[in-house]
Structure 1
Amino acid sequence: MAERLLEMPLEDVLGDRFGRYSKYIIQDRALPDARDGLKPVQRRILYAMYIDGNTADKPFRKAAKTVGNVIGNFHPHGDSSVYEAMVRMSQEWKLRNVLVEMHGNNGSIDGDPPAAMRYTEARLSAIAAELLRDIDKETVPFVPNFDDTTDEPTVLPAMFPNLLVNGSTGISAGYATDIPPHALGEVIDAVLMRIDRPDCTVDELMTVLPGPDFPTGGIIQGKDGIRKAYETGRGKIIIRAKAAIEQGKGGKKHIVITELPYEVNKANLVKKIDELRLDKKLDGIADVRDETDRNGLSIVIELKKDADAEAILNYLYKNTDLQVPYSFNMVAIHERRPKLMSLPELLDAYIAHRKEVVTNRSHFELKKANERKHIVDGLIRALSILDEVIATIRASSDKRDAKERLMAHYGFTEAQAEAIVTLQLYRLTNTDITALRQEAEELDQAIAELTGILADEKKLLGVIKKELKTMKKQYADERRTVIEEEIEELKVKVEALIPAEDVIVTVTKEGYVKRTSYRSYSASNGQDMGMKETDRLLAQLEMNTTDVLLLFTRRGYYLYCPVHTLPDIRWKEVGQHISHLIPLERDDELVAAVPVSSFNTGEQLVFVTKQGLVKRTELAQYQVQRYTRPLVAVNVKEDDDVIAVYATDGCGHLWLATHDGHALLFAEEEISLVGVRAAGVKGIQLKEGDFVAAACPVRLEEGSSFVVVTQRGAVKKVAMSEFEPSSRAKRGVVIVREVKSNPHRVVGAVFVSSDEEMVGLRTEKGVVETIEAASLRLSDRYSTGSFVVDTDEAGPVVDVWKEPAKLLGKGEEG
């Protein structure tokens, strides 16, 4: 036979195949039916157990037997998918009312896997039998199974609204679902209200069904989220663990957790809390113990003496799974299509299903009752003419002849004749006549009742309501989850949670930061700080772990770094690059570090840019709650850069020096206070091509001076008294003698208030020189100064800084 090849575009083939696959996944795999709340695999497991007689009133059977039956008869997929679905239906921390009872290890809330199916035993729970009740009365449609050897139901009769009671979760192609579990009694009350008042609102339904009820208990916050979910199918709530602060021995307190949010892994939660303790991210926790036993869940967090229990609990709510968000996504299969459904729509779908089930059941029972009534009527008439009937039967040649004679002589139907000829002799008593007449009366009553139900929708709904009330009486229990109106805003007092420790914080020009204990600093005697050869210190600060370090960048951003979040690294080791903590643009770099112990001191920040702009803003405006990315500190133009930032009380002076050799001294008060995103005002008048090379905050003190360095390696010390305070935005005065050939250009300058201070400089070729201020004699503004570097060999000077003073230390312990 010749091969037939079809040429088709790949996108058509893939589109068609994926379309068919996704339709199958959506309809027959991952999403629950809106009527019985079951996915196909769950329905098949329950039905297989039912027809096998594996019910709540019988002994347990091996789970492997059920799994084999399901795979062999209904669900041609892997055994693990069937067993996992079966196990989930038995886990009381997943389902509000379990549908399968299991003996043996069926997993745990710690995420432990269940035992293999050859070791576990299972049977239907009593409430699962209610999902299947009346299935043998032609109540639901059946379809052939995958190999046409038997039939299976497309939906279960579902005596209770299982979708809302047990919830559902699943992901298919293009659709996902997350429906939370609810309390059986409350859901039934909502169905009853919807039956009585089909136009009732969500607010009215919420008077009887206030929200989800998770099997693990906990606390739900946010009624608005529930209301939105019930109205639209989507909404968000917060689920919080149930925790209490208890007084322990010796003034110590304990936090005891007795209920967890839904689907939170207990073992992972305990591990996370313990990691916070070990990593010293949270001070105040002495120990974490899982004391869960057969009496219930219990996680005990033992606190240190004088620890702030409320602050620690709030921190744990914010940073662990003690509090989690839950998003409703109420998607179910409705009329063979996936649909995002509101609460009224889900209730209506269930009510419509029950109406159909009860109608079908009534038709079935009416048919059976009519058939039986027909037989009973025949038997009663036969007993009334018993002698003739016996004579006719005795005169017959066989059973068939007897039946035909009865039908011909007395007008009995074939069904009645069959019942008469198979009648046992002991039933030919007066007692049996009475019993038959009583049965006939009962059948008449049942037929009238069933006919009434089929003729009157009000009676039909009455039956549904009566059955639901019986379900509620038999299976409803107390609500487990508490619902709170508002979502509580968690305010975490960081200072109450962080161990207060004095540390040394270092920041380098190339962006490496670290905090070091005084013990490590003292052991090195403050020498040989770990740093790259090409790098230098930008700041060396004595701080506390409860303080905040603000790092400012060339492009006008700032990084908010609580000291306790900085890496704890030994003095002799290189720090961690700041980009590991907060992402920094590749072309950006650090220019200043400002330590902050409090944002409420009334201090301000002064910014100076290369193009001579200055800005003053209140420090308090730079305090933030979120600090995972660089934040805007000052608005900087494309062709400008920030060159200096410092904190001040606003009562000092600012001295600016330009590259061409001019300097201007003016009071900080001249700079008006502006907001964070403002650009600032002109600080110094610049000629074209000139720019600010140095900015020094100063106090007008006797004996203080400026050390000015030029690119040619000339260094000179100029007394503060050489500069008269002026007003901003002026040209300033000359600080370097003008030379026509190879003129001096200012590279940098520093303010020195004592002779012990040291000035560092680096040349283009990496040569570093350190100069003691005492070694420089005072010069006037017009002199050139002393040459300290041979720039012909080392290259021009490119960087100038003041060496940090050696720290006095706070003792070895720090």
Structure 2
Amino acid sequence: MTKKKPETHERILHENLEDIMAEGFASYAKSIIQERALPDARDGLKPVQRRILYAMYEAGNTFDKPYHKSAKTVGNVIGNYHPHGDSSVYEAMVRLSQDWKIRLPLVDMQGNNGSIDDDPAAAMRYTEARLSQISNYMLKDIEKDTVEWVLNFSDEKYEPTVLPARFPNLLIHGISGIAAGYATNIPPHNLNEVVNATIYRIQHPDCSLDDLMHFVKGPDFPTGGIVMGEEGIRQAFATGRGKVMIRSKVEVKQTRTVKQLIVTEIPYEVVKSAMVKKIDEIRLNKKIDGILDVRDESDRTGLRVVIDLKRDANDEQILNYLYKNTDLQISYTYNTIAIVDKAPVQMSLAQCLDAFIAHREDVVLRRSRFELKRKKARAHILEGLIRAVSIMDEIIKIIRASKNKTDAKNNLILRFDFTEEQAEAIVTMRLYRLTNTDVKELRTEFAALQKEIKQLEAIVADKDVLHRVIIDELKEINETFQTPRRTQVEAEFKEIVIDEKAMIADEQVVVTITRDGYVKRVSMRSFNASQGTPTGHKDGDAVLCYGPASTLDTLLLFTDRGNYAYLSVYELEEAKWKDLGSHLSNYLKIDGTEKMIKACLVKSFEPSIQIIMASKYGMIKRMRLSDLEVSRHNKAMVCMKIGKLDAMVQVQFSDRPDDLVMMAGVSGFALQYPVSEVARSTARTKGVKAMNLQKGDTIADFCLAAPETEQILVINTQAQMKRMKADEIAKIHRPGKGSRLCKLVKSNPSQICRLLPVTDQEIQMMADDEELTFKARDISMMPASSTFSTPFGKHENVAVIEPLTCVSNGQWPAEEEEVTQQTLFR
């Protein structure tokens, strides 16, 4: 007989998933905000920090006692109060001990507790720690019912919800944290300044921000530095949000051989080793000229980073460049958010002080009530003891006649009307207390207690007396901990002005650019040592152009998608002649699929130079070179609007209005007309029609020629060539079909590749994998009606390597008016 399975009753909840997630996340966010990431406005501590300090205090691990192993403290914190990972507790404990992160560390750690170079602290089993002296003032009077207590996670012990905190730790300590939907970033401030402002706020509750800023000048970072921007500080103190700039302190020193920039203070939370490495990278990559060496000479006596410069270097420009491009200068954003009444609040300076003052009022009141109750109880007992001394003989008789202690107490209460507490004190009193000296001590103690009780009653009853007590305790803090300001505050932010070219050495180099966008800068030494060797490029790529350049020149590049970009030659990474180089995407934002079609050098963007561009499907446009200059050139920008199926095929530079456009289609038709027939337009336009193309034909190339140009070199896609008279190209108005450049052979039609004006310069060309060098005048002179000669044999992949030339000043008018139409052809 089989047993029946017990019936199960399923409980199915029909709830919206969004509601379930929202409720769960709200609970999680509340926990993160209140119990982990944000500090309490009263004591300026996150829960983990508060638990660390209290666990050390509870274990007697105070500043006047021996050190304990850090592992012991971490174990106490995890086991009793903070059920999280040991690493999170130890890291919080280490940070509380680091004097380059906290103006006055709350933990005194012995051993390796990390460094300003971001070195990690030693493991907790190696380090020892105890509370610092100032932490004593964070926890003082905690046992006098000054704060609320709650059960710990296991309901075994009680822990404080806040520490008594005798000074405004939220501002002095400084803190950062990220919660769900909230983040806080509060810098450290000077202890003495904040305490003086607190005293003034107590005395003048309605004081203005200007009054408070008379005391609190701004943040005071443990690493020093210079804070610039009083307006940002004021905004932060007024609203809880603001931005300031922190700059390193740098001294310029002239030695016999070099100049030196000596850094003695750096911005807050900057990793010194990373900063030094960045400066050295600038030196190695020759981003600026003049830096010889960078050394970290820091030791136990203080921070010192030395930057050696050439004797004739512009130290001000170099320092400004380093301020702008390294962590020698950073921006710091105030975001003063803390927990007030269990909710996150963005707090002004006045609100931070008011929250602390309200907390201290509560703490001192609770302490006073606690001590008042205790002293009154003691005075009551002393009153009974003093009375008992005068009737001690009768009391002894009553005690001897009593059955036990309880009976003795009851008999004393009945006979002399003592209270329960007084009777207990009498029966437990030792006989030696009956001496004359002890009786006097009891009366002296009673008198002192009466005075203290009167003072405590005044504190509880009168708020002015309460405030005087708080002020006296704050003054004690100021006297005990003298903290001179380390951070210098400057009212105005000094804008950094950099003339980068003034810091670059004018050096001759060779620049190479490939069609796929690989570019490099080669020293003349490497270039001369590699004469006759092709420059390095990846398989399937081809060299677009190369040539000598100055490091002060600007490299201007055009792509087949109608975009252009430019960057300074000195910014290019130096490489060897045989190296591949770096892709342009390493220097600016550019689509990796774009092909380079033109590159040149410019010293300045002159309006007297005009740029002529043509697209594959017969459009042409003209614009000024000066129109390409922009303030930010870290990405590719549009110079000609190109359709998805179209492509820009050629770019040329015109230096005078009477230049001629000589344009050829792939099928062999060509025409020429003055460049002034192309209307000037702006960057984001398609241009105008350049040539009437037959069906299936496209633009192969165009060149600009002076009116006196007599001959043109024509090259086809098989590396066949011909030299012909320029007059044989049809001279007609734009647009037109043109005339044929060569005889049409239907069985093997030629496809035009390039048009080049004939000059005395050598032409370099890659035909398949063969590099050809020749002069145009060496090519056979042939009429337009003939086919082509084959001086180097037939090839499949043909690419002319152009010389990298510098665009010089032209003769185009700088004004906007159009050039007067001249005689079409001379």
Q: Aligned Cα RMSD in Å?
A: 3.8
Aligned partner of 1:50 among 54, 57, 70: 57
Q: Deviations over 1:589-630 (max 9, x none)?
A: 22211212x2166653413222443223143x5445644321
Kindly state the Cα deviation for residue 160 of structure 1 after the two structures are TM-superposed.
0.9
Q: Distance in 1 between matches of 2:185 and 2:600?
A: 48
**Equivalence for 1:34:** 41
- Cα deviation for residue 180 of structure 1 reads 1.4
**Contact 1:653–1:697 (Cα < 8 Å) also in 2:** yes
Distance (whole Å) between structure 2 residues aligned to residue 186 and residue 286 of structure 1: 42
Q: Displacement, 1:133?
A: 0.7
Following the alignment from structure 1 to structure 2, what is the Cα–Cα distance between the partners of residues 263 and 770?
59
2:282 is matched with which residue?
Answer: 276
Matched, 1:666 2:667: no
Q: Assess if the C-alpha contact under 8 Å between 2:719 and 2:798 holds in 1.
A: no
Q: Report deviation, 1:475.
A: 1.6
Distance 2:608 2:805 in 1: 26
Cα deviation digits, residues 341-366 of structure 1 (max 9, x gap): 33333323222222221121121112
- C-alpha displacement at 1:130, in angstroms? 0.5
Please give the secondary structure, in 1, of the residue aligned with 2:574.
Answer: coil
**8 Å Cα contact 1:616/1:671 also seen in 2:** no
Map of 2:31 onto structure 1: 24
Counterpart selection for 1:98 from 77, 97, 105: 105
Aligned to 2:544: 538
Structure 1 position 333 matched with structure 2 position 339: yes
- Name the residue aligned to 1:811: none
Paired residue type of 1:116? A
Is 1:773 aligned with 2:776? yes
Distance 1:88 1:344 in 2: 27
Residue 118 of structure 2 corresponds to: 111
Q: Distance in 2 between matches of 1:262 and 1:805?
A: 47
Supply the distance in 1 between the matched residues of 2:48 and 2:678 (Cα, whole angstroms).
74
Equivalent residue number for residue 809 of structure 2:
none
1:192 pairs, out of 199, 205, 224, with 199
Describe the SS at the equivalent of 1:249: coil
1:747 counterpart residue number: 752
- 1:487 & 1:806 partners in 2: Cα distance? 43
Residues 737-757 of structure 1 show CA distances to partners (whole Å, capped at 9, x for unaligned) of: 797979988735534343554
Q: Distance in 2 between matches of 1:144 and 1:534?
A: 73
Q: Which moved more, 1:738-747 or 1:338-347?
A: 738-747
Aligned residue for 1:212, secondary structure, equals coil
2:452 matches 1:449: no
Classify 1:220/1:650 alpha carbon distance in 2 versus 1 (closer, same or farther; 3 Å): farther
The worse-fitting range, judged by mean Cα deviation, of 743-752 and 54-63 is 743-752
Looking at structure 2, the residues matched to 258 and 725 of structure 1 have their Cα atoms a distance apart, in angstroms, of: 73
Residues 634, 803 of structure 1: alpha-carbon distance in 2 compared, 3 angstrom cutoff: closer
Residue pairs, 1:336-485, within 5 angstroms: 336-383=342-389, 385=391, 389=395, 392-393=398-399, 396=402, 398-428=404-434, 435-485=441-491
Contact 2:609 2:624 in 1 (8 A): yes
Alpha-carbon displacement from aligned partner over 1:708-755 (angstroms, at most 9, x marks no partner):
3567987543445668999x7564964647979799887355343435
Q: CA deviation at 1:98?
A: 0.8
Sort the Cα spacing of 1:38 and 1:3 in 2 relative to 1 into closer, same or farther, 3 A. farther
Equivalent in 304, 312, 334 of residue 318 of structure 2: 312
State the TM-score, normalizing by the size of structure 2.
0.86
- Are residues 1:696 and 2:699 paired? no
| Cα distance in structure 1, aligned partners of 2:539 and 2:461 | 96
Cα gap change, 1:746 to 1:227, in 2 (>3 Å): farther
The one-letter code matched in structure 2 to 1:773 is A
> Cα deviation per residue 1:753-794 (whole Å; 9 max; x = unaligned)?
4355448597xx9999887422445566xx32332369x997
Q: Structure 2: where are the runs of 5+ without partners?
A: 1-5, 807-826
State the SS of the aligned residue for 1:264.
coil
Give the letter aligned to residue 329 of structure 1. N
Question: Paired residue for 2:612?
Answer: 607
* One-letter identity of the residue aligned with 1:159: R
Amino acid at match of 1:549: L
Structure 1: how far apart are the matches of 2:634 and 2:210?
A: 40
Q: Distance in 2 between matches of 1:684 and 1:106?
A: 73
Residue in structure 2 matched with residue 89 of structure 1 by the alignment = 96
Give, in whole Å, the separation in 1 of the partners of 2:439 and 2:229.
68
Indicate conservation of the 8 Å contact 1:284/1:303, yes or no.
Answer: yes
In structure 2, relative to structure 1, the CA distance for the partners of 1:537 and 1:750 (3 Å cut) is: farther
Task: Supply the AA of the counterpart residue of 1:752.
Answer: P
1:331 CA displacement: 2.9
What SS does structure 2 have at the residue aligned with 1:77? coil
Amino acid corresponding to residue 212 of structure 1 in structure 2: P
Residues of 2 paired with 1:16 and 1:84: CA distance? 32
* CA deviation vs aligned residue, 1:309-357 (integer Å, no higher than 9, x gap): 2222222222222222323333323222334433333323222222221
Write the distance in 1 (CA, Å) between the matches of 2:37 and 2:734.
Answer: 71
2:606·2:625 contact (CA, 8 Å) conserved in 1?
A: no
**Aligned residue type for 2:59:** D
Equivalent residue for 1:787? 788
* 1:570 and 2:576 matched: yes
Q: Distance in 2 between matches of 1:580 and 1:354?
A: 57
What SS class does the counterpart of residue 575 from structure 2 fall into? Answer: coil
Displacement after TM superposition at 1:119 (Å)? 2.6
Deviation at 1:487, TM superposition (A): 3.6
Q: 1:284–1:304: 8 Å Cα contact kept in structure 2?
A: yes
The 3-state SS of whatever aligns with 1:347 is: helix
Deviation at 1:647, TM superposition (A): 4.2
Aligned residue-pair number: 794
Quote how far apart the aligned CAs of 1:477 are.
Answer: 0.7
d(CA) in 1 for partners of 2:58, 2:289: 59
The equivalent of 1:154 in structure 2 is: 161
Secondary structure, in 3 states, of the residue corresponding to 2:612?
strand
Is the Cα contact below 8 Å between 2:716 and 2:752 reproduced in 1? yes
Contact residue 607 and residue 642 of structure 1 kept, 8 A = no
CA distance in 1, matches of 2:110, 2:53: 17
What TM-score comes out, normalization by structure 1 length? 0.87
- Using the TM superposition, name which of 125-134 and 625-634 deviates more: 625-634
Find the partner of 1:582 among 574, 579, 588: 588
- Alpha-carbon offset, residue 51 of structure 1: 1.9
Matched, 1:246 2:253: yes
Task: Answer whether contact 2:605 2:629 (CA < 8 A) is retained.
Answer: no
Judge which range, 446-455 or 395-404, deviates more. 395-404
Q: Which residue is 1:493 aligned to?
A: 499
* Partners of 1:532 and 1:574 within 8 A in 2: yes
Structure 1: gaps of 5 or more residues: 808-814
Residues 192 and 585 (structure 1 numbering): CA distance in 2 closer, same or farther, change over 3 Å? same
Q: 1:708 to 1:78 in 2, by over 3 A?
A: closer
Q: Taking structure 1 as reference, are residues 632 and 221 closer, same or farther at Cα in structure 2, changes over 3 Å only?
A: farther
Mapping of 1:227-306 within 5 angstroms?
227-250=234-257, 252-306=258-312
* Equivalent-residue separation in structure 1 for 2:29 and 2:224 (angstroms): 36
How much has 1:292 moved relative to structure 2? Answer: 1.4
Deviation at 1:398, TM superposition (A): 4.8
Q: Kindly state the Cα deviation for residue 168 of structure 1 after the two structures are TM-superposed.
A: 1.5
1:213 equivalent in alignment to 2:216: no
Q: Determine if contact 1:550/1:560 at 8 Å carries over to the other structure.
A: yes
Q: Residue 622 of structure 2 contacts residue 687 of structure 2 at CA under 8 Å; is this kept in 1?
A: yes
Residue 484 of structure 1 aligns to which amino acid in structure 2?
A: E
Return the offset for 1:384.
Answer: 5.0
What amino acid is aligned across from residue 599 of structure 1 in structure 2?
S
- In 2: Cα distance, 1:290 partner to 1:771 partner: 56
Q: How far 1:441 moved relative to its partner? A: 4.0
